[in-house]
């Protein structure tokens, strides 16, 4: 099982959507360490350029940056245009975190729709625009980063969980379609992870460790990226931190109602 990510296996260039910090930049470092040139995509230009400079200095690969809001309807068309001359062999879609869990009606409709655009429509468009050339070439890799919120519905997780379930099913379906084509597809399921956005959430809610100590119980982004890159060929699904990472829902034999109630308790306990 598993594969070593190389330019021979996937191609000379990779894209990380949501690649300026956290899990995204960890993927970019992992790809660059394996000799893959990287395109970093994110909204915040200073953070994006800082990440790019560090990757160039550490790994000696080419790094390009594309400043985009992936929630904009034309974002993926713009990204495709900006990278048209590159052979993109590996695409990691990592954008779409929800930094605050709130009741469905306590968030305005435009915010919900923006999350659906970023986590569903843009992901689908990325898979279609960048996956088609991979399938035609007979090599490539696609990683869709999803969440444990995809396993069942839960209070305060309505739109976020629904979008992440979309990503999970999309990844598994594309794996089933492309598994004989030379293109690896992985739906990467994450739990609570030590990212800047998650730390900001914990700090805002007063639940972080006092005095800037280690944020206990949060997965390390580098560990996540390295594990995913090592197991890109072991799709359709990889559950980071699970004793059975290729297994099913952690809710196991629970019926749907009890799973939803358990997810709701978990959301309440983490907020």
Active site residues: 160, 164
Both tokens assigned to 70:
């992936």
Q: Which residues contact 152 (CB under 8 A, 6 or more apart)?
A: 161, 249, 251, 256, 259, 260, 262, 263
The order of strands in the sheet holding 63-67 is: 63-67, 37-42, 13-17, 88-93, 140-147, 183-190, 237-239
Q: Is 183 helix (H, G, I), strand (E, B) or coil?
A: strand
Cα–Cα distance between 203 and 196 in angstroms, integer?
A: 10
Place of tokens 């007979």: 138
């Amino acid at each position: 099982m598993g594969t070593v990510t190389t330019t021979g296996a996937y191609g000379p260039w990779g894209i990380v959507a949501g690649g300026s910090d956290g899990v995204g930049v960890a993927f970019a470092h992992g790809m660059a360490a394996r000799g893959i040139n990287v395109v970093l995509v994110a909204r915040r230009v200073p953070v994006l350029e800082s990440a790019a400079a560090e990757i160039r200095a550490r790994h000696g690969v080419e790094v390009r940056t594309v400043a985009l809001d992936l929630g904009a309807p034309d974002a993926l068309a713009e990204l495709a245009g900006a990278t048209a001359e590159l052979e993109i062999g590996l695409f990691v879609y990592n954008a779409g975190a929800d930094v605050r869990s709130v009741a469905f009606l306590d968030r305005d409709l435009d915010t919900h729709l923006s999350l659906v655009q970023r986590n569903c429509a843009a992901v689908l468009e990325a898979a279609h625009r960048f996956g088609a050339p991979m399938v035609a070439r007979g090599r490539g890799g696609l990683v869709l980063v999803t969440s444990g919120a995809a396993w069942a519905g839960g209070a305060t997780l309505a739109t976020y969980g629904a979008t992440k379930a979309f990503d999970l099913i999309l990844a598994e379906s594309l794996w089933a379609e492309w598994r004989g084509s030379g293109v690896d597809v992985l739906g990467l399921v994450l739990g609570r992870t030590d990212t800047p956005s998650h730390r900001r959430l914990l700090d805002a809610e007063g639940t972080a460790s006092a005095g800037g100590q280690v944020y206990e119980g949060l997965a390390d982004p580098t560990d996540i990226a390295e594990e995913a890159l090592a197991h890109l060929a072991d799709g359709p699904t990889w559950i980071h931190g699970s004793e059975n990472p290729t297994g099913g829902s952690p809710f196991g034999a629970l019926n749907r109602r009890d799973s939803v109630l358990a997810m709701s308790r978990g959301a309440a306990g983490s907020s």
